[in-house]
Structure 1
Amino acid sequence: MSEPTPAPGRRREVMAVLPGLMLAMLLAMLDNMIVSTAMPRIVGDLHGLSHLSWVVTAYVLGTTVSTPIWGKIGDLYGRKNIFLTSIVIFLIGSALSGAAQTMGELIGFRALQGLGAGGLIVGVMAIIGDLVPPRERGQYQGFMAATMAAATVAGPLVGGYITDHLSWRWAFYINLPLGGLALALLAVRLKLPTRRTEHRIDWLGSGLLAGGITALVLITTWGGTEYGWGSWQILGLVALAVVLLAAFAVVERRAAEPVLSLGLFRNVNFTLSTVIVFLLGFTMFGAINFLPLYQQTVQGASATNSGLLLLPMMTGMLVTSLVAGQLITRTGRYKAFPVIGGVLVVVGMGLLATVDIDTSRLRSSAFMVALGAGLGLLMQTTMLIAQNSVDQRNMGVASSTTTFFRSIGGSFGVSLFGAVFNHTLENDLTTRLGPGAAEVASGEGVAGLTPEKLATMPGEVVSALLHGIADSTAAVFLCATVIAVVVPVAAAFLRHEPLRGAEPAAAEAAPSPAVDATAGKETGRSSPA
C-alpha cells in the first residue's frame, strides 16, 4: 500500500501551529519536574514543611479534576478559544505562585495553575486530532515523543540551575515567556472549524465527577502516608468516591450533553485503549518514580543531573515512536504496535526487577531502553486508536478521557508501589540491622538520601540501606511486571478499524465506527475560528 500524501496546504497549516502546541505540552510536563527540584528552597523560604505535600497535591487535584471537563467544553464551544483560555489560566496561576508570600497562598495558586494545566495536554491532542486525519497522524508522533523526552531531561536540569543560582520563584516565572510565546503563536496561526451545537453544560455530572476524582486522588495521596489504609479518613474517602461515582454514572445516562459519555465505552477499541493507558500510567509513573533514588544512592549518580538518568528510556521511546508513526502512516495498520509494545514493557519491567546492589549503570540503562521502546510503541498509538474510535465532534472527550485514565492510573501506581517499596525496605533493614537500628536508619528519610549524606553514615548502616533500596526497587518492578502483563493481552483484543483517511471530506462522509451517544444536534455550517 502506498503512503498517503497529505495535502500541502494542510501540512503547512499543521507545521505552522506545531511549535505552539509543543510549547504548550512542554509547559505542562516541565512544571512539576522543575518545581519538585526547587521544593526544599521553597519550604525553607515560606516555612511550611508541614504543608509540603499539599503544594504537589493541589496541582495534581486541579489537573485531574479539570481534564475531562476541558475536553468536553472544547467539543461544545470550539477547541481554539477553550485551549487558549487554559493557557491563560495556567500562566496566571504560575505568576501568582511565583509571587506567593505564604504556603497557603502557594497551595491555592498551585490549584489554579493545575486547573489550567488540565487543558494543556488534552487540548494539544484534540487539536492535532482536528487538524490531522488518523491515517496521517502517525507522522507527527515523533514530535510529541521528543517533547516528552525533552521535558524529562530538561526539567530537573533547569530546576537544579534555578535552585542553585536564582530565586525559587523563577521555577514558576519561567513559564511566562514560554507560555506567552505559545499563546501568541496559536492565537495568530491556529485555524479550526467551528461546529455549532446546542450547548447544554452537564453541571451536575461535572460536579459529581469532580468530587469523585478528588476523593480518589486524596486516597492515593494520603493512603499509607498521612493516614493508615484502615483509618476512618481513608475508608470515608473510599465510601465517598464510590457514592459520587455511582451517582455520576446514573446522571450521565440521562444527561443531554454528558461530560464523559458512557456510551463511548460500548466501542471495544475505545474501551481497550482506555484500559491500556490506565495500566501504562499505573506501571510507568508508579514504578519509574523509584528509579532516580536507586540510581543516585545505589549507583552513586549525581542528583543534579537526575534528568539525564532517564535518557536511555527516553531514547528508546523516541526511536520506536518515530518508527511506528511512519509505518502507521505508510500502511494504515496499527494493531501490531500495541501488542509488541506491551510485550516490550513487560520485558523491560521484568529486567528492571532483577537489579541489585551490583547492577552496573550500563546494564540498567539497557533495561531502560527496552522499557522505553515498549512505551514508544504504546503511548501515542493508544491515543490514535481512541481518537479513531469516536465521532469527530467527540474528539475532546476521547482525548481527555484517555489522559484522565492515565493520570488516575499514575496516582494509584505511585501509592501502591510506594507501599510496596516502604514495606520491603522496612523488612530488609530489620533483617540486616535489627528492629531498633532499622527504625533509626529508615527514619533518616530515604527519599532525601544522597551520596554525600551516605558518606557521613556508619558503614554497616550504609550497606544495609543500599541493599534495602536495591531490593525494594526490584520488588516494585516485579509488581509492575505482573500488572503490565495485562497490557499485551488487552492489546491483542483490539480490532483493526480503518483509520479515517487523508481527505477530510471523505472522513466526514464516512460513518463513524464509534457510538455517538453524546453530541448535540449540529445546526450550522463550519467556519474558521
Structure 2
Amino acid sequence: MRSRSALHGENETSRSGVGSAARPEADPAALTDSATPPVSPVPAEPPAPSPMTHRQILEALSGLLLALLVAILSSTIVANALPTILAELGGTQSQYTWVVTSTLLAATATTPVWGKLADLFSKKVLFQASISLFALGSVLCGLATSVPMLIGFRAVQGLGLGGVQALAAVVIAAMVSPRERGRYAGYMGAVFAVGTVSGPLVGGLIVDTPWLGWRWCFFVVVPVAVAAFIVLGRTLRLPLIKRKAKIDWVGATLIVGGVCLLLVWVSFAGNTFPWGSTTSLVLLGAALLCLGLAVFVEGRVSEPVVPLRLFRDRTFTLATVAGIGLGIAMFGGSLFIGQYFQLGRGYSPTDAGLLTLPLVLALFVTSTGSGWLISRYGRWKAYLSVGSVSLVLGLALLATIDHATDVWLVGCYLALVGAGVGLSMQNLVLAVQNNTSARDLGAATATVTFFRSLGGAAGVSVLGAVLSASVANRVAAETGGAAEAASGSLDLAALPSEMQTILHTAYGDATALVFGISAVASIVTLVAVMFIREVPLRTTV
C-alpha cells in the first residue's frame, strides 16, 4: 500500500508533459521484495519530461490569473467607494486610512510566512487556503455595521491577500523560466489592467446605485474567489519537492509582531500621541526588540522564514530597498488620487474611476511591452532604470497639483507614474528570482514582496496622517478654527455649501504634499536600481 506522502506527491506531480523541472519518481511497488532480478537493465537516470507547452502553461495560469484578479479587485473596487462607506458609517479621515492600512498590515506581516510555507508544502493547497481566507474576510466586511468592525474584517481579508500576492509570483516562477516569463506578462498585465480599470468603475457604480449599496463592493469579489479556487483545483499541477518540513514559528511570530508594532507606531505617533511620549517610545522599543530578536533567531534556525543568506546577494538586497519606495508610490498614489478627485474636485466615485484611466493604461502598456521585449532580447536593466526615472518624475509633477489644476494635466502626470510602476514592479521580482535557487524561491520572492508591502503600509499610514493634519490646518486658517472639527468628516454632503467649498479646496491643495513626500521616497528606488547589476536571464526553471 502506498503511503500518504507518496499519494500527496503524486497529486502534486504534473500531468503528462507538465513540470519542466520535475523528474518522475520510480514506482514504490517496483522497489519492494522482488525475488528475481529484472530481465532488462534499469536506466540509471530516467528521462526528464518535456517542458510545458504554451497551452499547458495557459491552462495552469487560468486559475492563477483569476486569483490575481480577486486580489486587485479587493483594493481597487473599494478605493473610490471608501468616502461613501465612511460617510455612511460615520468614519473620520484617520479611520479612512486605517480601513486600508489594516489590510496592508495583515498582508505585509504574513507575506514572508506564506512564502516560506511555499518552500516546504504544496503551493497549490496554500494558494487555495489563501483564497478561502480572503473570501471569508470579504463576506465579513460586507456585513460590518461599524468602522472598527470593518477595519477588523479588512485585516482578515488581508491575511488571505498576503498569501495570494506572495504565492502568485512563486507559482509562476515554478512553471516558467526567467527568460520566457516575459512572454506571459501580457496576460498578467491584461488581468492587472482589467482589475484596476473595472474595480473603481464597478465600485463607483455600486455605490451610486441605490438598490445595491456599498456592501456589494465586498460581496461582488466572492464569486470570483470561488471560481479561482475551483479552477486552481482542476488545472494547477506542480512538482512537489519533498523536504523535511520544519517551520520556524518563533521567527515568524517575532517578524509579524515586530512589523505590526512598527506600523502601529508609525500610524499613531504625532497624531494620537506625541513622537517623544512614553507610549511612542515603548511601541518603538518593542518593535525594534522583536525585529532584533527575529534577526538573531533567523540566523540560527535550519529553515528560517527569511533566510539571512539571501541578503549576501547584491541584487536581492538592492531590490528589497527599491521595493520600499515603489510600495509607497503604488499604494499611496492609487489611494489618495481617488480621494483627490472626489473630495478635492467633487467628482462622483464613477467619474473618479474614469479619471484614473491614464495611470492604468500606462501601467498596462509598459508592463506588457517590457515583458515581451525582455523575453525576446533577454535584457531587463534598462526598463528598470527608465521606470524608476518615470516614477520620480510623475510623483514630483503630482506634487504641484491643487484644487484647480486642469484634469488633463493630472492625467498626464498619472500616466508617468503608471509607466514607472509598470516598468519596475514585475521586473524587480524577475531580477531576484533569476538570482535565486529553487530551494529559496518562495522565501526570496515573498521577502521582496514583503518590503514592497511594508513600504506601502507605512506610506499609507504616514501620508494619511499628513493629509489629515494638512486639511485640518487649512480649514482652521480659512475659518479661524471655528469649523476645524468638520475637517475630519468625510460626509461633505451633510455640511453647509460654504463649508463644502472650503473642504474641497483644502483636500485639493493638501494632496500635493502627499505626492511630494512620495516623490522623495521614490528617489530611494531610483538610486537602488542604478546599482543593480544586470545578470543574463536563465533559460531553465
Question: Shorter-chain TM-score: which interval?
Answer: 0.7 to 0.9
- Stretches of structure 1 that go unaligned for 5 or more consecutive residues are 1-5, 505-529
| SS of aligned partner of 1:448 | coil
Q: Does residue 457 in structure 1 map to residue 497 in structure 2?
A: yes
Q: Which residue of 1 aligns with 2:56?
A: 13
Return the offset for 1:414.
1.8
Return the offset for 1:175.
2.9
Question: Is residue 80–residue 338 contact of structure 2 (8 Å, CA) maintained in 1?
Answer: no
Return the offset for 1:109.
4.5
Aligned positions, number: 490
Q: Which residue of 2 aligns with 1:31?
A: 74
**C-alpha distance in 1, partners of 2:288/2:200?**
37
Q: Which residue of 1 aligns with 2:38?
A: none
Q: Deviation per CA, 1:167-192, whole angstroms, max 9, x where unpaired?
A: 55433332332111111111111111
Instruction: For 1:12-411, list aligned pairs within 5 A.
Output: 12-35=55-78, 56=100, 58-98=102-142, 109-163=153-207, 164=209, 165-166=211-212, 168-411=214-457
User: Which structure would you say has the larger Rg?
Assistant: 2
| SS of aligned partner of 2:349 | coil
Equivalent of residue 444 in structure 1, options 486, 491, 496? 486
Return the offset for 1:142.
2.9
Return the offset for 1:350.
1.7
**C-alpha distance in 1, partners of 2:413/2:441?**
36
Q: Deviation per CA, 1:501-523, whole angstroms, max 9, x where unpaired?
A: 1x44xxxxxxxxxxxxxxxxxxx
Question: Is residue 134–residue 161 contact of structure 2 (8 Å, CA) maintained in 1?
Answer: yes
Taking a change above 3 Å as real, the CA distance of residues 479 and 169 of structure 1, as seen in their structure-2 partners, is closer
Return the offset for 1:58.
4.4
Segment of structure 1 superposing worse, 185-194 or 224-233: 224-233
**C-alpha distance in 2, partners of 1:40/1:340?**
35
Amino acid in the other structure paired with 1:179 = A
**C-alpha distance in 2, partners of 1:339/1:52?**
34
Q: Deviation per CA, 1:16-64, whole angstroms, max 9, x where unpaired?
A: 1222112111212222444566667877998998988765554333322
Return the offset for 1:486.
2.6
Instruction: For 1:490-501, list aligned pairs within 5 A.
Output: 490-501=528-539
Taking a change above 3 Å as real, the CA distance of residues 316 and 43 of structure 1, as seen in their structure-2 partners, is closer
Segment of structure 1 superposing worse, 392-401 or 323-332: 392-401
Q: Deviation per CA, 1:355-398, whole angstroms, max 9, x where unpaired?
A: 23432111111111112111111011111112112112222112
Segment of structure 1 superposing worse, 326-335 or 47-56: 47-56
Question: Is residue 182–residue 375 contact of structure 2 (8 Å, CA) maintained in 1?
Answer: yes
Question: Is residue 223–residue 415 contact of structure 1 (8 Å, CA) maintained in 2?
Answer: no
**C-alpha distance in 2, partners of 1:313/1:101?**
33
Q: Which residue of 2 aligns with 1:469?
A: 507
| SS of aligned partner of 2:299 | helix
Amino acid in the other structure paired with 2:451 = F
Return the offset for 1:324.
0.8
Question: Is residue 134–residue 388 contact of structure 1 (8 Å, CA) maintained in 2?
Answer: yes
**C-alpha distance in 2, partners of 1:168/1:44?**
11
Taking a change above 3 Å as real, the CA distance of residues 93 and 17 of structure 1, as seen in their structure-2 partners, is same
Question: Is residue 476–residue 482 contact of structure 2 (8 Å, CA) maintained in 1?
Answer: no
Question: Is residue 137–residue 154 contact of structure 2 (8 Å, CA) maintained in 1?
Answer: yes
Taking a change above 3 Å as real, the CA distance of residues 270 and 403 of structure 1, as seen in their structure-2 partners, is same
**C-alpha distance in 2, partners of 1:412/1:53?**
11
Question: Is residue 227–residue 233 contact of structure 1 (8 Å, CA) maintained in 2?
Answer: yes
TM-score, length basis structure 2? 0.82
| SS of aligned partner of 2:222 | helix
Taking a change above 3 Å as real, the CA distance of residues 284 and 43 of structure 1, as seen in their structure-2 partners, is closer
Return the offset for 1:68.
0.8
Return the offset for 1:343.
0.8
Amino acid in the other structure paired with 1:31 = S
Q: Deviation per CA, 1:225-258, whole angstroms, max 9, x where unpaired?
A: 4444344333321111100000000000001000
Q: Deviation per CA, 1:69-115, whole angstroms, max 9, x where unpaired?
A: 01100111121121112122222333444456787766654433322
| SS of aligned partner of 1:290 | helix
Q: Deviation per CA, 1:246-299, whole angstroms, max 9, x where unpaired?
A: 000000000100001111011000111111111111233234432223323444
| SS of aligned partner of 1:304 | helix
Equivalent of residue 486 in structure 1, options 495, 520, 524? 524
Q: Deviation per CA, 1:129-174, whole angstroms, max 9, x where unpaired?
A: 1111000111222333333333333223333343432255433332
Q: Deviation per CA, 1:282-334, whole angstroms, max 9, x where unpaired?
A: 23323443222332344443233322221101111111111111111011111
TM-score, length basis structure 1? 0.84
Q: Which residue of 2 aligns with 1:517?
A: none
Taking a change above 3 Å as real, the CA distance of residues 327 and 307 of structure 1, as seen in their structure-2 partners, is same
Question: Is residue 98–residue 461 contact of structure 2 (8 Å, CA) maintained in 1?
Answer: no
Equivalent pairs: percent with the same residue? 40
**C-alpha distance in 2, partners of 1:153/1:442?**
35
Segment of structure 1 superposing worse, 189-198 or 95-104: 95-104
Q: Which residue of 2 aligns with 1:518?
A: none
- Alignment RMSD, CA only? 3.0
